[in-house]
Structure 1
Amino acid sequence: MRLPKSVSNPDLSVGPNNKQRWNQPEHRRHGFHNAHLLFRRALMFRARTVLTLTKNGNHSDLGSIPEVAALTSHPAFSALVCARGDQILYETCAEDFSTKHPHSIQSISKMNIHLIVGKLAGQGLLDLGKPVSYYLPDIGSGYATAPVQNLLDMNVANDFSEDYEDPQAGCYTEEIALGWRLPIGDAPEPTLREFANGITGDDLTNQSGFADYKSANTDVLTLICAKISPVPLSVLIENIVDAAGYEGSFHISACAEGLPAFSGGGCMSAEDLARFGLLIARRGIGVDGKNVAARDFLDKSLARSGVTLLPPKDWLRYSNHLMTNGRLVGHAGYGGQFLLVDMSTGISCAFLSVLQNEAGYDSDYMTKVLDGLSAILEACQ
C-alpha cells in the first residue's frame, strides 16, 4: 500500500537557528498565545469550584503609574491582572489578547514544584538534605551528588546551560523532552528521565555567589516527586487547580512518559495566574477549604537566605523554587512573564508578555517588568 504524502509537523520542527516554528521571533507571539494547542502533548485541568473575582473600580489610576504605563504600551505586552481577596484591583490587556485566554507562563510553572515539594517534605517522604542519587539511583553525574536542597535553590553547577542567546544551549535540547518540539530527522524523543540522566558534571558546587539558574533542576525534582509521591502528579496538579479556583483551563505540556513539564510547560490566563498568586498569598488555603501548601515550608522559604539573583535583581533571592525578598514572592518566565505577590497585603499581580527578539529574553526588560509590578504593590499598600 502506498502511504499518503506527509511532512514533519511544521509548528514543532526546528529551523536553522535550532528553534521550532512557534518559538521563532516572527511566530512567538502567536505561539505563546496558543502554546496549549501547539505542544506535542499536554495535560489539561479544570477546577471544581471557581474563585469569583469582582472588579473594584477604586484603583483605575494604577495604569497611569509611569512604570506600569511603559509596560502596558510596550509591543510585547499581552495582559496584566492585579487582585486581592476576591477583587480585581486592576486589569488590562493588549488589543489582540484577553485576560481570560490561556498564555504560556513558562518558568512561573516552577512554583507548583514549591507547593508539591513542601507537601512531600512535610509528610516525611522527602529529605532535602539527601543527594539526588538517594532517590534516583540512575541519575547522571550532573546531579548524582547534589543535595535536593541545592536544586530547589538553583545552587547547582553542572554542564547544563540555560543561555537563551546560544541556540545550541541545553535548554533547547530540553524542549524535546518537554514536548515543545521534535528532534531532528528520525531521532527518538527522549523522556524527561532520559534527558535528565544524560546531564553531566564534575564538581557540582556553585562557586559564583549567585543563583545558577537551570530549568533542568526542576525536571530532576519532578522525577523525584513522581517517584516518592503516594499519588500521581496529575492528582497533585488537580488539587492545586481546585484550591486556586481557576475559572479557565490549566494546561501543562508533558514528556513522552506523561510526566508534566513543571520547568516551564504551564499555560493559563492572566486572571487565573492572579488566582494562583492569591493561593500563595493565602499560604495554600484553597477555595475548597483544603491546604495544598506546607505553611511552615513556605514561611521558611521566605525567611531563609537562599541564593541571591544576579544584579540588578540581587535584591531578590532564590529559595525553594521561589524568588523572594522575604515579603514579595513570585517567579519570572522566559519570554516576558512575571507573577509577583505581596505576602503582607495579599495582592497578586500577574503579568504576561511576549518578547520577539531572537533570544526571547531581555534582562533589562525583565527588570522593568519587576519594577512596574513593584510600583503597583507599593501604590496599593
Structure 2
Amino acid sequence: MSLPVSAFAQKFGFARADVSLGNWRTRPYSAWSFQNVAELVPSVEISTSATIEDETVEPLGALLEQTVDVGAGSETVKSFLARSDTDTLVVMKAGSFVGEYNAPTVDPSAPHIVFSISKSLTAILAGVLQDERLLDPAEPVTRYVPEAAGTAYEHTTVQQVLDMRVSLDFVEAYLDPESDFARYRRAMLWNPMRASDKSETLREVILSLPKAGGPHGGPFRYYSPLSDLLGIIVERASGLRYADLFREKLWMPLRARGRCTVTVDAEGTARAAGGVSMTARDLARVGEMMRNGGMAGSRAIVTERWVRDTLSAGDPAAWKAGDFAHLLKDGSYRNKWYQSGFPNGAFMAIGIHGQWLYVDPVREVTIVRLSSQHEPVDDPLDQQALRFYEQIAAML
C-alpha cells in the first residue's frame, strides 16, 4: 500500500528528506532550500522579534503579460520569469511598490538566500563604520585582523578588499569538488564533510590562502573569501558580532519588515560573502536607500558621501582588465557594488543562482529578482536579465 503524498511533496514535487547538503543548491531542491537555508546550515537571526506591519503589495498583474525581447525572441514577462527559475520579482517606482510576482512554490514572507548580494550588504556596514570613524579603508587589514600578518593579506588595505583588488591564488570553482573553493565551502558548513577532510573554520581557510604573483591593487578579481574577511574586519572594528552590527546599523534603521538570517561556521563566523537570507521586499528597501543617497525615509543609514563614492569611484581600467568585463563592458566595481556604465547610471548587487538587485536612478526604479537557477553562473542568462531589467524600468 502506498503512503499518502504529503502537502510538502505536492507543492515541491519531492520530499523534505530528499534535500541534503549535497544537493541543496541544485534544482529542484533549491526551490525549497533557498527559502529555508536555516534548516540546512547553522544560522543566526538578524531580524528582531518586534514586527512592523508590512505594506500591501499587489501582484504585478497586467505587467506580466507585457512583451519583452531580451535576445531570445519576443516573450511575455511571465514567460521570462518562468524559464529563468525566478522565485520572486519585486518592482518599485519612486519609492512605492508597483507589484510583485511569486512562483507557486514561494512564500513571500520567507527569507530567501541572496548569495553574493550579501557582499554588498556587508559593504554598507563597512560604510557605516567608516562614517563613524571606526574603520579607515586606507589602513592595512592587519590593523583590524592582526593574525593576517604573514599571510596573503599582510600588505593589503581594507579598500583593496572592498574593491576586490587583492592578489590571491584562488579560483571560484563552484562545481569542482576537489578545489580550494570546495574546501572553503566545507569550512562554512555549506558542503558535506568527507572522511578524508580536515576540519577547518572559515577564518582558518581564508587566512591560509596563498598570494598570487601580481601586486595588490591590480585588476578586479572576484574572490569571495575577501568578503568573508571583510565580515571579520567589521566585527573587529565595531566590537559587535556581525548579526548584531547588521541589526543595529542597517536592519532596524531601514525599518525592514521580514525575517533576516545569516549562516555561520563552527565558531560562529558569519558568511558575510553569501550567507544572508531576507525577503525580496526588504532587499528592495536596501536598493531604495542606496538610490536615495543613504536615506531610508527620514533616517540616514550611511552618508551620501559614501554612496556617491560607491557609485562613482570604481576604476574602469581595473574592471576592463578583470574577471567580469564580459558582463558589463563599460562597468566598474566599488565597495562591492557594481556600476553598469549604462547611460541611466544603473547600479546593482548580484548573487549566484540568479539573485539581483537592480537600481535605475534616472527612472527611479528598483527591481529585485530572487531565483533558484540550477547553474550558479549562466552568462547568457545574465545578459538577458540585464536587458529584461532595462525594459521593465522603461515600461514604468
> TM-score higher than 0.5 here?
yes
Q: CA deviation at 1:218?
A: 0.3
Deviates more, 1:63-72 or 1:31-40: 63-72
Partner AA of 1:260 in structure 2: A
- Return closer, same or farther for 1:29/1:208 CA change in 2, 3 Å cut-off: farther
Other-structure match for 2:74: none
Q: 2:271 aligns with which of 251, 261, 274?
A: 261
Q: 1:278 aligns with which of 279, 282, 288?
A: 288
1:353 and 2:371 matched: yes
Supply the distance in 1 between the matched residues of 2:293 and 2:244 (Cα, whole angstroms): 20
- Return closer, same or farther for 1:37/1:57 CA change in 2, 3 Å cut-off: closer
Other-structure match for 1:92: 101
Other-structure match for 2:23: 21
1:331 and 2:349 matched: yes
Deviates more, 1:196-205 or 1:348-357: 196-205
Task: State the percentage of identical aligned residues.
Answer: 23
Other-structure match for 1:17: none
Q: CA deviation at 1:158?
A: 1.1
Q: CA deviation at 1:224?
A: 1.2
Other-structure match for 1:16: none
1:107 and 2:109 matched: no
Supply the distance in 2 between the matched residues of 1:347 and 1:51 (Cα, whole angstroms): 23
The 5 A counterparts of 1:161-310 are: 161-185=171-195, 189-205=199-215, 209=219, 211-239=220-248, 240-286=250-296, 289-306=298-315, 307-308=318-319, 309-310=324-325
- Residue by residue over 1:152-176, the C-alpha shift from the partner in whole angstroms, topping out at 9 and shown as x without a partner, is 1112221121132433333332223
> Partner of 1:313: helix, strand, or coil?
coil
How many residues get paired? 362
Q: What TM-score results when the alignment is normalised by the length of structure 2?
A: 0.82
Other-structure match for 2:328: 313
Mark the runs of 5 or more structure 1 residues left unpaired by the alignment: 1-8, 14-19
Mark the runs of 5 or more structure 2 residues left unpaired by the alignment: 1-16, 71-76
Supply the distance in 2 between the matched residues of 1:174 and 1:92 (Cα, whole angstroms): 34
Supply the distance in 2 between the matched residues of 1:12 and 1:44 (Cα, whole angstroms): 24
Q: What TM-score results when the alignment is normalised by the length of structure 1?
A: 0.84
The 5 A counterparts of 1:1-16 are: 13=21
Q: CA deviation at 1:323?
A: 0.7
- Residue by residue over 1:79-110, the C-alpha shift from the partner in whole angstroms, topping out at 9 and shown as x without a partner, is 10011355221311212224333221100111
Supply the distance in 2 between the matched residues of 1:60 and 1:266 (Cα, whole angstroms): 32
> Partner of 1:138: helix, strand, or coil?
helix
The 5 A counterparts of 1:355-370 are: 355-357=373-375, 360-370=376-386
- Return closer, same or farther for 1:81/1:182 CA change in 2, 3 Å cut-off: same
CA contact (8 A) 1:77 1:354 kept: yes
CA contact (8 A) 1:83 1:90 kept: yes
Other-structure match for 1:80: 89
Supply the distance in 1 between the matched residues of 2:49 and 2:296 (Cα, whole angstroms): 11
Q: CA deviation at 1:78?
A: 1.0
Partner AA of 1:339 in structure 2: L
Other-structure match for 1:128: 137
- Return closer, same or farther for 1:90/1:205 CA change in 2, 3 Å cut-off: farther
Supply the distance in 2 between the matched residues of 1:313 and 1:70 (Cα, whole angstroms): 25
CA contact (8 A) 1:192 1:259 kept: yes
Deviates more, 1:116-125 or 1:43-52: 43-52
> Partner of 1:23: helix, strand, or coil?
coil
Alpha-carbon RMSD? 2.8
1:322 and 2:337 matched: yes
- Return closer, same or farther for 1:312/1:116 CA change in 2, 3 Å cut-off: closer
Other-structure match for 1:39: 41
Supply the distance in 1 between the matched residues of 2:217 and 2:237 (Cα, whole angstroms): 31
CA contact (8 A) 1:46 1:246 kept: no
CA contact (8 A) 1:62 1:376 kept: no
> Partner of 1:190: helix, strand, or coil?
coil
Supply the distance in 1 between the matched residues of 2:262 and 2:59 (Cα, whole angstroms): 33
CA contact (8 A) 1:155 1:206 kept: yes
